[in-house]
Structures are given as C-alpha cells and as structure tokens.
Structure 1
C-alpha cells in the first residue's frame, strides 16, 4: 500500500513528465518550423477555408489541444510548489502561443472584437459559431441569386451570361457543387423568349449528342 508521501511523489513524477512533454513537443517545433509562409488574415470571407488552414497550422505546432482543453490547474498539496509552478508555466506558455496564433490570423478589426475572449476554447468556439452561420447565410443568398436571375432583352446576352457565370463561380468558391451540364442547361433556360428558336436548337443538339453516346 502506497504511503501519502509515495503517492505525492508519484503525482510529482507524472507532472514532471507532462511538463517535459509540453516543452519537448511544443518548443522545438516552434523553433524549427519556418515562418516564411503566413496565413492570410481572416476578414469575414471564406471562414471554413481559413479555419481549416489555421487548424492545420496549430496542429503542426502541436498546439491544437489548447483549443479544447480547460486551463491547467493543480490541487493544493498534490505536488511540491516548484514542480507545480513549472508545469503550470509551461502550460500557460503553450496556451499563450495558441491564442496569439489565432488572434494574429484575424484582421485588425476582428482582433479587437475577439481578443476579449478569456480562453482559447471560448475564442475558437465563438469564431466557429458566428462565421459558420454567416457562411450558411451567404450560401443561401448566392443560391437564391442564381435561381432568381432573369435575363432581359435590354442587355447584351453575352454580358448577362457573364453575370451568371460570376454567380456560379462564387457558389463553387463556397464549396457547393454544380455539375457543368446543370450550369449549361440553367443558362439556356434563362434566355429570354426572343431566343426561343436558339434555345430549342441547343436543346435538340444536346439530345442528339446524348443519344449518340
């Protein structure tokens, strides 16, 4: 049966190992990974892409665990003060790096907004909830813009086709998929009644091609 002293020594040894693990796994990586390539700062656009790149960046530095871990604490009397202090300081250092990598990945305006968050978990979760919701709203807006687009005879058809293609490009950039054949049919269907003969010609040509295949 372990005596209280042995139990405390065991916890101390475990804590020292944990401290060593933090220092050995984080600090050397920070020293050796090149900082030449930096993430573009997030400024409310393409959050999902930025988030995935930031997560990879933090994982590369072995700091991703600090996005979900609560602040490190030690109960009084579990270990000696020196060991406890050193372990806590090692955790705080890595937590500080994680927090500032995220904040420095934000635009100046967003930095001011999110720097008030007290923990990395709160910071990361706040960004996730706010901008994933905004991404969804933007996707719905783009889809509606595409569906409701109406061609008119008062504008050049070529210019209007280019407008539709720009909307499609924005939709694809948001990670949504529109197969090419659907894009073509959608554009044909949006031609005005003045182009009915041409629309029928294109549809007939498309059917002939499909039958041949």
Structure 2
C-alpha cells in the first residue's frame, strides 16, 4: 500500500498548476490524491465542534435514560478528532497551495482552511461552463503539429484536446476530428496530407 501511495503522490507532483482556466481537470486530480491520502473529508466537512461548546449544548436532563461515555472519554475522543482534522487540513491545504500558479498562490496563501479554499475555487471556476468551453475549443483550434516533436506524441496531444471538448458535452463526429487533424499536419507532410484528403472513403480519427 505504501508503495502504491508513493507512486500516486509522485505522479501527482506532475499536475499542471491551477491558473484559473484548467480547474476541472486540476480539481479531479487533486481529489484523487486526497482520497488516496484519506484526507478528502476535510474539503466537505466542517471542523469538529469545540469540546467545551459541545458539552454546553448537551441537555441537562435527557427525556429517556441513555448510556453515554464518561465525560473524560468523550473529551478525549473529541480532542483526537479535532487533532486529526487539523493535521489532515494542513496536508490538504499544503497540496492545494503547492499545485497553484504563483498568482493563484498569492490569493489563497492566507486562507488556513482547505475547505474554504476548495469552496471558493468551486464557486469561482467550477460553474463557469461557458468559459471552460471557450477555453478547450480555443486550445483545439490553436493546436499545430511541428516537425521537431515526435509525431505520436503530438497525435496523443490532439486526441486529448478532442477529449476535453467531448467531456464538456459538445459533440464532434470522428470525420470532423480526422479532417481537422489533417489541417494540423506540419508543412513537410503536405504531400501525405493531400494524398489522404483525396481518398474516396471518409477518414476516422
């Protein structure tokens, strides 16, 4: 388990920092990391109530007799839950800030609660469907293959860009995907591109 967890953490170190435009993929990757570390609950749960506050809210005379832990045992359990939450909050907060671009880091460095950071990011970037769609379409349109990079690496990059568009709920048939890729070929591939374009059957990606 320790080995697999170390591999996950190592892989997560390669996450592209959050810059405000890549929130969806960034948040999903961070959530995978937090689940592996078993600290994801701090993003969705409020911190445990203060021990003294919880004692004062307990009714003095319960309606029916109940068996409850002794006060000392209750206090100890509450203190342990509070310490665990504080520790896990620091871990989650640290990863959130570490995986942010500098300008985003500066905005959130003073926030001590991982849940507050997570909720703020969700409100600011998670609901902006129109912005995300424009962003992924723009990346797809700007993509251009080059001679000085491995061809298969570039094709995988194009496939990922297409996947981003499909994940946003926008439809695009494979014939369109393939023909747009032809237009992205580098200049040295012009003869091969023309050869493919003159084929009588439809091309798929």
TM bracket, shorter-chain basis: 0.5 to 0.7
**In the TM superposition, what are the counterparts of 1:8-23 in structure 2 within 5 Å?**
none
> 2:26 is matched with which residue?
50
> 2:176 is matched with which residue?
182
Q: Number of aligned residue pairs: give it.
A: 148
Question: Take 1:164 and 1:99, find their aligned partners in 2: how far apart are those partners?
Answer: 34
Q: For the Cα contact (< 8 Å) 2:19–2:101, is it kept in 1?
A: yes
> 2:6 is matched with which residue?
33
Q: For the Cα contact (< 8 Å) 2:93–2:112, is it kept in 1?
A: no
Aligned equivalent of 1:79, options 71, 76, 82: 71
1:172 aligns with 2:162: yes
TM-score normalised to the size of structure 1? 0.53
Question: Take 1:139 and 1:45, find their aligned partners in 2: how far apart are those partners?
Answer: 10
Q: For the Cα contact (< 8 Å) 2:21–2:132, is it kept in 1?
A: no
> 2:151 is matched with which residue?
none
Cα separation, partners in 2 of 1:108 and 1:181, compared to 1, 3 Å: same
5+ unaligned residues in a row in structure 2: which ranges? 57-69, 145-157, 183-196
Let me know the Cα RMSD of the aligned residues. 3.9
Cα separation, partners in 2 of 1:90 and 1:53, compared to 1, 3 Å: same
Cα separation, partners in 2 of 1:106 and 1:86, compared to 1, 3 Å: same
Question: Take 1:69 and 1:51, find their aligned partners in 2: how far apart are those partners?
Answer: 17
Q: Larger helix proportion, structure 1 or 2?
A: 1
- Between structure 1 and structure 2, the one with the greater Rg is 1
TM-score normalised to the size of structure 2? 0.54
Helix, strand or coil for the counterpart of 2:122?
helix
Helix, strand or coil for the counterpart of 2:89?
helix
Helix, strand or coil for the counterpart of 1:51?
helix
**In the TM superposition, what are the counterparts of 1:74-153 in structure 2 within 5 Å?**
74=51, 75-76=54-55, 79-80=71-72, 81-133=75-127, 136-140=130-134, 143=137
Question: Take 1:101 and 1:79, find their aligned partners in 2: how far apart are those partners?
Answer: 36
Question: Take 2:19 and 2:124, find their aligned partners in 1: how far apart are those partners?
Answer: 13
